[in-house]
Amino acid sequence: MLAVIAPCLLHLQASAVDDGAVEAAAPDFVLKSTAGPNLRLSEFRGEVAVVVFWASWCGECRAQLQQFEELHQAYGDSGLRMLTVSLDARIEQAADTAAALGLSIPVLHDARGEVAELYEVDDLPLVVYVDRDGDARERLEGYTRAERERFVESLRVLLRE
């Protein structure tokens, strides 16, 4: 599926999600959640949003989702909102994985890969930090357990702003 995702054609949006530290408007999107309602990224303005792209067939993604759940529990009262975007072909695959992992964080479904295209997803998992103003501030491709401390410190910085 990822092999068919074409590079983003909108240069302004592409600049929002280049590797490393960035500061440009995060592309807004709306996707259906496995819980039923549609969610829009811009609904979380005023809070720090972490957008995580993943798929049930990605072993590293599954391991990281549990860590993201823990971070949501630890920092949710401080204004952190985790949004996971599944690239599975069927919404049931995403829902089953979320249930098996005991996730309470929103699981959104991007079966057609349109949001993944906006964010130029090449590697999974992909993590994008979005600040309270809706700007993409950092991007981590292939996030691993070894990067957890850097990830947590970046979250703390954004939550203090």
CATH, residue 12: 3.40.30.10
Residue for token pair 């949501």: 72
Band (pLDDT 50/70/90 cuts) for residue 81 is very high
Please list, in sequence order, all residues whose beta carbon lies within 8 angstroms of the beta carbon of residue 141, skipping any fewer than 6 positions away: 19, 122, 123, 126
pLDDT at 23 over 50: yes
pTM passes above 0.85: no
Residue for token pair 């599954």: 62
Over residues 98-114, mean pLDDT: 95
Alpha carbon of residue 155 to chain centroid:
13
Domain count, the chain: 1
Q: Which residue range(s) make up the domain with 78?
A: 2-160
How many CB atoms neighbour CB 60 within 10 A?
Answer: 15
